[in-house]
Amino acid sequence: MQKNYPRREFIKKSALAGAGVTIGAMGLSAKSYAAIPGANERLNLAVIGIHGQGQTHINNWCSLKSSRNIRVKTLCDADEQWFDSRAKIVVDKTGEKPLTEWDMRKVFDDKEIDAVSIAMPNHWHALGAIWACQAGKHVYVEKPASHDVWEGRKMIEAARKYNRRMQVGFQNRSISNVMEAMKFLHNGGIGDVFMARGLCIKPRDSFGIAKDSAPPATLHYDRWLGPATYRPYNEKKGHYNWHWFWDTGNGDTGNQGPHQFDIARWGLNKNEHPVSVYSHGGVYGIDPKECAQETPNTQTSIFKYEDGKMLEFETRGRYSNAESSLDIRIGNMFYGTEGYLELNGSTWKAFRRREEKPFAGSQKSADVKKPVDPLTPPGGTEHYANFIDAIRSDHNNDLHCDINEGFFSSSLPLLANISYRLSRELKFMGGSRDNEKFVNDAEADAMLTRVYRPPYVVPNEV
C-alpha cells in the first residue's frame, strides 16, 4: 500500500494540539468550536463496510456533521447492493450525496479522506486498518479490534509508526454512567475487586443451510473474502452469518461479547493479558444437519491474572433467565472484598456486603444535573465524537479507547476461542509484545495468527 499522508496537516497546527484537551471537555458552543484554528477545516470520512453495523456508523457520523464539522464523503462496500439505500441516509441527513466505491484501495488513495470508519467483517479489521494507516488515514474500527491476537498487535504497530489515531468501537468507554461506575470500582467502592463477570445472553435461532452457489452480481466476492481461506460462495455463510464461521468471525463470544469483556477488564483495572484461560461449551438446541454453524452458541470462559484475580464470561445463545437484581442479559457484575456491583447498560448499583439495598449507583445521582457537552448530540454518538476530538487534538491519550486498550480487551474472547477449539486449559505469557505466546504450546501458538490468502496478507513489518 502506498504511503500517502493527509491533505493539509491542519490537525497538528490547531490550538487544541497545544492545549492537549478534547472539545467536549471544554464545553464549547458550536460557534466557539468553529472559531478554533483548524476546526474550520472540514474533516472528510469514509465508511468501509456499510451493511449491518456499518449503517449505525453512517447515521452517527451524519449526526456529527455540524457539531464536529465533518463530511461523509465516501461509502465503500464489497457488495454494491447497499449503495443506493445507504447513500440516501447521507443525503437525507446532511444534504450531500456521498461517493460510492467497492474497492477500499481507491478510498485509501483519495488524499481528501482524513479518516476511515471500518465496519467490515472481523477478518478484515486488521488489514483494512493497517492499509489505512499506511495511507495516512486515522481509523475508527469496530470490535473486536482484530480477528486474531497477532494481527491486533500489528494494528498497534501501524498506528504508532504512522502516528494515526485508532479508536476501537467499545462505546461503553464514552458512556458517562459506565465511566462513573469504573471510577467507583477503581477508588475502592466495593473494596479490592477480585472477580469480574460478563454476560452475553442472546438467544439465536438456526439460520438454516444452503448449497454453494454463484455469488450475487453485486458482490465482489474475492474482495469480500479477502484474507480468509478460499471457500465457494454460500449465502448462509455471507452477510451477518459470517459471525458463526471461524475463518471470518468469532462467534457471539467474539461478537457481542467484546463489549462486556472490555468492561470486565476495565473494572478489574488490568492493562495486561491473563496468564491462563479455560473455555468450553458447544452448539446446543440446533440440529447440525439444519445449520452449518461452527462457533458455539453456549460457552463458559474463565481467565486468571498473574495476581490471582479472575474474569468469568458466560455466552448463552439459547433460552435463559437473566441474572442479578438488574435482570442482566448483556452486562457485568463485579465482586470485591467489601461488596459487589451490578452494571446493566448505563445503570449500575453497588451493594455493601450482605445488605439488600444498594448504597451507591447511577440511580442515586439521577436527580443531580451534570454538565452537558453542547457539541455532542444524543443517541450514542459520544464515542464517535471522541474520535474526532482526538484527531483534532493530535493526542492518543484523548481517545477513550485507543487501539492498545481495544487490543487487550479483544484478545480475551480470541484466547477463549483458542481454548474452546483445543478443548483444554491454556497457559499464556503476555508480559510484552515479544512474549504474546502460550507456554510451551506450539499448537495453541499457531492459532494466535492465521494463514493469509495472497494478496490479502498482514505483513510482519507494517
pLDDT of residue 4: 46
Backbone angles phi, psi at 70, to 5 degrees: -125, 160
Q: Where in the chain is the domain with CATH 3.40.50.720?
A: 10-174+377-402
pLDDT of residue 431: 63
Backbone angles phi, psi at 417, to 5 degrees: -70, -30
Q: Where in the chain is the domain with CATH 3.30.360.10?
A: 176-371+406-448
Using CA atoms, how far residue 369 sits from 29, 163, 182, 363, 365, in Å, is: 19, 38, 20, 13, 8
**Taking CA 171 as the corner, what is the angle to CA 125 and CA 83, rounded to the nearest 5 degrees?**
50
> Distance between CA atoms of 249 and 146, rounded to whole angstroms?
10
- DSSP SS3 for 268: helix
- DSSP SS3 for 243: helix
- DSSP SS3 for 362: helix
pLDDT of residue 35: 44
Give the CATH fold of the 176-371+406-448 domain. Dihydrodipicolinate Reductase; domain 2 (3.30.360)
Contacts of 89 (CB under 8 A, 6+ apart): 55, 58, 59, 62
Using CA atoms, how far residue 174 sits from 101, 182, 228, 407, in Å, is: 31, 12, 32, 17
Amino acid, res. 281: G
DSSP 237: G
* C-beta separation of 20 from 402 below 8 A: no
Backbone angles phi, psi at 246, to 5 degrees: -60, -30
pLDDT of residue 432: 58
Q: Strand 310-316's sheet: what is its strand order? A: 360-361, 347-352, 339-344, 330-336, 193-201, 310-316, 298-304, 276-282, 426-429, 437-438
pLDDT of residue 134: 98
55-68, pLDDT tens digit by residue?
A: 999 999 999 999 99
> Distance between CA atoms of 150 and 155, rounded to whole angstroms?
9
Backbone angles phi, psi at 352, to 5 degrees: -90, 120
pLDDT of residue 430: 76
Helix (H) or strand (E) holding 301: strand 298-304
Cis peptide bond prior to 377, omega within 30° of 0: no
Q: Cα torsion at 331, 335, 340, 341 (round to 10°)? A: -30
pLDDT of residue 110: 98
**Taking CA 274 as the corner, what is the angle to CA 272 and CA 277, rounded to the nearest 5 degrees?**
155
* C-beta separation of 139 from 118 below 8 A: yes
Cell of 272: 495486561
Cell of 432: 510484552
Cβ count near 371 (within 10 Å): 9
Contacts of 384 (CB under 8 A, 6+ apart): 57, 60, 61, 64, 140
Mean pLDDT for each 10-residue chunk of the chain (462 residues)?
45 39 44 50 97 95 96 98 98 98 98 98 98 98 98 98 98 96 98 98 94 97 98 96 97 96 98 97 92 95 97 97 96 98 96 97 54 47 96 97 98 98 95 80 98 97 97
pLDDT of residue 251: 97
pLDDT of residue 363: 65
pLDDT of residue 377: 43
What pTM was computed for the model? 0.90
The CATH number that domain 10-174+377-402 falls under is 3.40.50.720
DSSP H helices, 50-175, are 53-63, 83-94, 104-109, 122-134, 149-161
pLDDT of residue 433: 59
Q: Strand 99-101's sheet: what is its strand order? A: 99-101, 70-76, 43-48, 115-118, 138-141, 166-168
